[in-house]
């Protein structure tokens, strides 16, 4: 059974600092891994999708890496801003076509 873990559960940084969010999964037989952002009480916004054959994806200040063999992904957010405050969720897709989510990392960027 696939399990996804995100550590830490919460993170507080001063504005301008780089953010590093970690995601680990137990079964390396995945199709892809997706990072999402969720604002309080809202739906999920897809940030980056990494296919199982890829090592990383980049979009603006965001960079996500994937190491399938070790079951890890890292989301980097450069030069954080107060607007980056949100909960970040990672999810893996494997057999059954369902997304298995981690519990999320709640980020606060202080001005």
Partner 1 sequence: ETGVTQSPTHLIKTRGQQVTLRCSSQSGHNTVSWYQQALGQGPQFIFQYYREEENGRGNFPPRFSGLQFPNYSSELNVNALELDDSALYLCASSLGGRDEQFFGPGTRLTVL
Question: Which residues are near partner 1 by CB under 8 A?
Answer: 4, 31-32, 34, 36, 41-46, 49, 89, 91, 93, 96-104
| Closer residue to partner 1 in complex, CB, 69/97 | 97
Taking the C-alpha atoms of residue 32 and residue 99, their distance in angstroms, rounded to an integer, is 9
Q: Tokens 């550590």 appear where?
A: 7
Positive or negative: CA dihedral 12, 18, 20, 21 = positive
Cβ distance to partner 1 smaller for residue 86 or 91: 91
**Is 10 or 78 the residue whose CB approaches partner 1 more closely?**
10
The CB-of-92 to partner 1 minimum distance in angstroms stands at 11
* Residues in the chain, overall count: 111
């Amino acid at each position: 059974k696939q399990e996804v873990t995100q550590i830490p559960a919460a993170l507080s940084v001063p504005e301008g600092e780089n953010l590093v969010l970690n995601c680990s999964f137990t079964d390396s037989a995945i199709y892809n891994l997706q990072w999402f952002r969720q604002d309080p009480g809202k739906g999920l916004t897809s940030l980056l999708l990494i296919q199982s054959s890829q090592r990383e994806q980049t979009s603006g200040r965001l960079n996500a890496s994937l190491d399938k063999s070790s079951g890890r992904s890292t989301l980097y957010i450069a030069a954080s801003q107060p607007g980056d405050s949100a909960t970040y969720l990672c999810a893996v897709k494997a057999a059954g076509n369902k997304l298995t989510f981690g519990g999320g990392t709640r980020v606060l960027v202080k001005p």
